[in-house]
Copies of this chain bind each other. A is one copy, B any other.
């Protein structure tokens, strides 16, 4: 191990570096290279099981995954590092120097709903390429699907109230904060507090004020007045620094002063205490001051469960700032997403590891709707099958390493989500009740081929007859 100073100014993180991968991807690639095993391989990326309380998944992250595949390469520094490991032959390093992704990609578009075992994405590429991109592809898609799915649950629980992403301080890295803002926007959030996400994705940005703002003034009411002076058209007072009800009364006083000058106090924010009863008392104080247009925003440990609970208890809350628990998907901070070889050099393959048996071959997902336009069931078929009456979900996105479609805007993706979500039967939208899983059938052809292949593999590898 080369010793280097613990100097972060040397740490230049590049999301396009092909070193965003596990060592084993490169040692396997080196063996393939040496053996000239670089025929076309199909890998399928899917989720193996439902995390607690989940009954569907929201596709998200594809634009980033595609961008990664278009731009992945080994920089001079990356190659020098690999050489320094003294594990790889010079001709393999020369190959890596020219490494680009040249494969085909099919995927379920962002914003669409999908289910367990359905491939979110399939890659067909020379084996070495498809292997090296594995780790980053899972990393990118896993995170955004997980967050979009979590956000959609908050969207369901909020019953039309506005949701704002407040999670940046607790996301797992600053980069993660960007993708949380994007994925939650897709799945029903109105915007984010994250300014860099606002800049990079064109998302609406929102904000209020912090407790430190209040306490940096000698008195709370001075802090309110100072803020209203500068931002009279977008003021939301944080009212719980010392006492929420006392704070609400001061906010109402400044709200009346603002009204006298022709301005509307946009809102107040509650950040602690018993939200249902406090919000009703604060609503009364505001209404009695003639501030019925002033909204109540609540923040503090909200997620789908707490949103549902306070609304069930009659909270007078118009908008939620949703932070930590959405931004880390706290009740399910990882999904069981896998990226598995299903075909190599024209030969279908699978693994038989206990509980992790894979389905061989490239695939398509077909969705069937009932007469009211709601999802009825899906069929998982071999890629080349045609299943009459079904809507095929995987679309060709890249061919020979180039993007072949024009990617939808974030607004379009958001509409896709809303349309799909409105077609999902209500029983799958419960945030805390157990329901039988959505029906995903295997096509008869897929089932037949799978049974045949399992028998063949067991015979070949385990000597069974």
Residues of A in contact with B (beta carbons under 8 Å apart):
1-15, 17, 19-28, 30-32, 34-35, 37, 41, 43, 63-64, 66-67, 70-71, 77-78, 81-82, 85, 87, 127, 131, 134-136, 138-140, 142-143, 166, 168-179, 193-196, 198-220, 226-227, 229-231, 234, 240-243, 246, 271-273, 324-325, 328-330, 333-334, 337, 340-341, 344, 347, 349-356, 407-413, 457-458, 460-462
Q: Are B201 and A271 in contact (CB under 8 A)?
A: no
Contact across chains for A1 and B203 when beta carbons are under 8 A apart: yes
Evaluate contact between B213 and A31: CB separation under 8 angstroms: yes
- Is B19 within 8 A of A195, CB to CB? yes
A351 to B328, CA, bound (A): 27
Q: Is the CB of A330 within 8 A of B334?
A: yes
A258 to chain B, nearest CB (A): 15
Query: How far is A185 from B231 in the complex, measured between Cα atoms in Å?
Result: 47
**A210 and B6 contact, CB distance less than 8 A:** no
Please judge, given known A-B contacts A173-B176, A355-B272, A409-B5, whether A349 and B215 are in contact too, CB under 8 Å.
yes
6 closest residue pairs by CB, A with B = A23-B207, A8-B67, A24-B207, A172-B172, A212-B341, A175-B175
CB distance from A345 to the nearest CB of B (A): 8
User: Given A4-B201, A173-B172: A194 and B351 within 8 A (CB)?
Assistant: no
B23 touches A241 (CB 8 A): no
Please give, as numbers and ranges, the residues of chain B lying within 8 Å of A324 by CB-CB distance: 334
Contacts of A333 in B (CB 8 A): 172, 328-330, 333
When chains A and B are docked, how far (Å) is the Cα of A23 from the Cα of B209? 9
- A416: min CB distance to chain B, Å: 12
Contact B216 A15 (CB under 8 A): no
Chain B residues with CB under 8 A of A1: 202-204
Q: Write the nearest CB–CB distance from A445 to chain B, whole angstroms.
A: 21
B205 and A23 contacting across the interface, CB-CB below 8 Å: yes
Cross-chain contact B175 with A15 (CB below 8 angstroms): yes
User: Which residues on B sit within 8 Å (CB–CB) of A131?
Assistant: 210, 212-213
Across the interface, do B354 and A63 meet the contact criterion of CB distance under 8 Å? no
Contact of A28 among B26, B171, B179, B210 (CB under 8 A): B210
A243 to B220, CA, bound (A): 68
Which of A226, A246, A325: most chain B Cβ within 10 A?
A226
Pairwise interchain contact A169-B142, C-beta atoms closer than 8 A:
yes
Residue contact B351 to A214, C-beta cutoff 8 Å? yes
Q: How far is the CB of A222 from chain B (nearest CB, A)?
A: 10
Q: Taking CB as reference atom, which chain B residue is nearest A349?
A: B215
- Residues on B with C-beta less than 8 A from A78 are 199
The interface residues of chain B lying within 8 Å CB-to-CB of A43 are: 212
- Considering the complex, give the chain B residue whose CB is closest to the CB of A460: B219
Give the Cβ gap from A330 to chain B, nearest Cβ, in Å: 6
Q: How far is the CB of A286 from chain B (nearest CB, A)?
A: 19
What are the residues of chain B within 8 A of A134 when measuring CB–CB? 169, 210, 212
Given known pairs A173-B175, A226-B35, the reply for A409 and B23 (CB within 8 Å) is no
Which residues of B sit under 8 angstroms from A194, Cβ to Cβ? 20-22
In the bound complex, residues from chain B placing their C-beta under 8 Å from that of A243 are 352, 461-462
A413 & B231 in contact (Cβ 8 Å cutoff): no
B6 touches A413 (CB 8 A): yes
Contact A23 B193 (CB under 8 A): yes
In contact, B170 and A334 (Cβ under 8 angstroms):
yes
* Chain B nearest CB, measured from A314 CB (Å): 20
Contact B8 A63 (CB under 8 A): yes
| B457 engages A207 (CB within 8 Å) | no
B contact residues around A199 at 8 Å (CB)? 19, 77-78, 81
B351-A410 in contact (CB<8A)? no
